[in-house]
Each structure stands twice: as C-alpha cells, then as structure tokens.
Amino acid sequence: MIDVGLFDPLVRALLRVVRHDPVKIVVGTALLTSIVSLDGDGSTTFIIVTSAFLPIYLRLGMSPVVLTCVTATANGMLNTVPWGGSTARAAAALKVSPIDIFVPMIPAIAA
C-alpha cells in the first residue's frame, strides 16, 4: 500500500487542511490514523501516520509523544474491527463469530 502510494492523496489533502495549526495537526493525526486503521493492521498505520506527520511535529516544535499517543489511541480503538487481529484471535479462542464480539462494542467505539 505504501509502495504504490495508496494513501498519498489522503495525506496531501490532510496536510493542506491542517497547515501550521497544532490543534488541527493533532486532529488530522487522529483522522488519518482512523482511516488507515480500518485495514486492521497496526504496523502499517504507524508507518503511514508517522512518516506523514513526524516531520511536521518536529518542525513546529510539537512533542512526538503527542503523535504517538494520538495514533495509539485511535489505532487501538479501531483495532477492534471484526477483521482486525485482536478481534479475530479473541473470537477464535472463544469459538464465536467476530461479529458477536464486535457488535456490542459499537456504542463504545462511536462514543
């Protein structure tokens, strides 16, 4: 996905919107993380989000810890999708469908 530039248009659009406003940059970080996390792969999410936003955080003097925490929080929340690794492993261990685990969590994810 990274090699073919799948997320490049999305990253460029987000970077145009957030510009140099630290609050918008943090919200943009969470938004990009949420979109990329839909594939259920945390490592891909961190690679894409960090490569897009770390230079901006450093240039503006923002703490990279904020980048890490926002990315981890959004990724952790969306890692519960039925096709994500943790939900699939839990479903296999409990011998239930991943949907049986995911559906009750939808209100918490939405909140």
Cβ-Cβ contacts under 8 Å for 102 (sequence gap 6 or more): 80, 81, 82, 87
More confident residue, 78 or 91: 91
For the whole model, what pTM was predicted?
0.80
pLDDT, tens digit, 9 for 90 and up, residues 16-47: 888 889 999 999 999 999 888 887 778 888 99
pLDDT, tens digit, 9 for 90 and up, residues 52-74: 899 999 999 999 999 999 999 99
Q: With contact defined as beta carbons under 8 Å apart, do 56 and 43 qualify?
A: no
Q: Residue 1 above 70 pLDDT?
A: no
Q: With contact defined as beta carbons under 8 Å apart, do 64 and 102 qualify?
A: no
Dihedral (Cα; 5, 28, 69, 105), 10-degree rounding: -90
Could you give the CA distance from residue 40 to residue 44 in angstroms, rounded to a whole number?
9
